[in-house]
Chains A and B, each alone.
Chain A
Amino acid sequence: MAEKYLDCLGEACPVPLVKTQNAIKEMAVGDVLVVGIDHTCAMKNVPDWARGQGYNVEIEEVGDGEWEVVIEKTK
């Protein structure tokens, strides 16, 4: 049940999603990835993709236009 943070602040599409996919691949089932994002497009396409994979996803707006997307790798 490890938790890992991935810093994608200031990065434009498609970099946040590519990095998220790479990070998830290396994680074990049950691990949690927290992706720090301030790209308005990525706060939609990263959760969209993760939900599509069937993972649990939560989005928290931690500042003005800054989000943490919490992804639990459930399978």
Chain B
Amino acid sequence: MDQNQNTQLEKPALYDIILKKEWSYYAGSALIVIFAMALCMFGSTWGVSGALGMWGNMFLSLFGIDTAATFGTDTSTYNFWNNQASLTDIGLLLGALIACLLAAQWKIRNIKHYKQALAAIVGGLLMGVGAKMAGGCNIGGLFSQLPQFSLAAWLFLLFVFLGATVGGKLLKYFMPPVSNQRPKRKRLTAEQKLRNKRIQIIAAVVIIALLLIVSFVVAPNYPKAPLFLVIGIGLGYSMQRSRFCFTAAYRDPGLTGETKLTRAVIVAFALATIFFFGRHASQFGADLSGLTAENMPGNVINLQMCIGSFIFGIGAVLAGGCASGTFVRMGEGYVQLWICFPFFCLGNAFAGAITKATAGTWFTAGSKVYLPQLFGGLVPALLIQLLALLGLWILAWWWENKKRAQFN
């Protein structure tokens, strides 16, 4: 203990500052927005759950199921190196893995109770089904859409919040029982810690070297693949270092009263809104004369989307992470999220049967609402959206202070 106090008094080492110490949530917001916008500039907007559904369908087709006829997803043309979401998803996992190894914090984080596995399975299935019905997860349905002035994403936010509230109530049935027993573990000596640190850093360097080799090998056939991978790794690294979590933004206010991540996600929305303001002006013209029904951004608002985002919210709270969070935590070595992952894929694939059956019915009837059209131009839409986000930020800040005062 004496030794520990000494180390805390010392100035932090350069290694700790550059590779180990966690970043602020706002630093995470800024970097995630920059990477996501870079992706948007040469690919399409960031999405995560689409690839999971594809993998679920591919798994089911191994059993002779005609996924195109049953779930509406044709797996025959899929190519991993050609698929943006697949590459950025694997990048998320690798980026988090590299961040964790470089910080010498990687370990297998095992579950200790069957209820955690149950939470992962139920949560994974619900998230998979919800994301398919809602037309995206926290990323595709919310983070990549709300800044594009899509009213559907605001509704996604509302319903995912309601779902998370229900999930928060159900969580007590999935929590491992309280244990006050300190696990018997040998404390590592300083030499052992140093050795482990070196092993982890070397492992990270090897992984980075392998990734570079793979990138050079696939680049001639798939020139975009290394770029998608790098952006995914950047996103995963940033999310891990800043401990960013999209689910916590709407889960924690009700459950723990914390809104620091809520406010960081709101800031990310605001930054991305400014980016899309410029991008839409260049795409559609400042007067929106180039906007058509076909190229209008955003999802269709319908009953299926609302129900889907509600279900997704329940699942994300139970599983302990959304789609992007699942990849990040898989990279960090969480067994609970490795269990969750295949069920997310399968849930997403199975839900194809729902979206296929309801296509063209009242359940999916609706239309897109593009806020600049509603408010009479891009500038009023920008101002109104930024003011709405500011209002939410203040509400979140007030809520945290209120809950903090109530606790004592």
Contact = CB atoms under 8 A, between A and B. Distances in A.
Most buried by A among B171, B178, B243: B243
B252 interface: yes
Interface string A48-75: 1100110000101011111000000001
Interface of chain A: mostly helix, strand, loop or mixed: mixed
B282 interface: no
Interface residues of B, number: 56
Q: A interface, how many residues as a size bin? A: 35 or more
Given A5-B181, A21-B407, A40-B332, A10 B256 contact: no
B113 to A, nearest CB: 8
B374 interface: no
Contact of A63 (B111, B180, B188, B333): B188
Contact of A14 (B111, B200, B243, B256): B256
Contacts, number: 126
Most buried by A among B100, B104, B109, B336: B109
A41 B180 contact: no
Given A5-B181, A6-B180, A10-B111, A64 B106 contact: yes
Contacts of A45: 243, 248, 252, 256, 258, 260-261
Interface string A1-35: 00011110111111101110111010000000010
B116 A11 contact: yes
Given A45-B258, A49-B258, 12 more contacts: A4-B180, A7-B181, A11-B176, A12-B116, A14-B252, A41-B245, A45-B256, A63-B185, A63-B187, A64-B104, A64-B107, A64-B193
Interface of A: 4-7, 9-15, 17-19, 21-23, 25, 34, 36, 38-41, 43-45, 48-49, 52-53, 58, 60, 62-66, 75
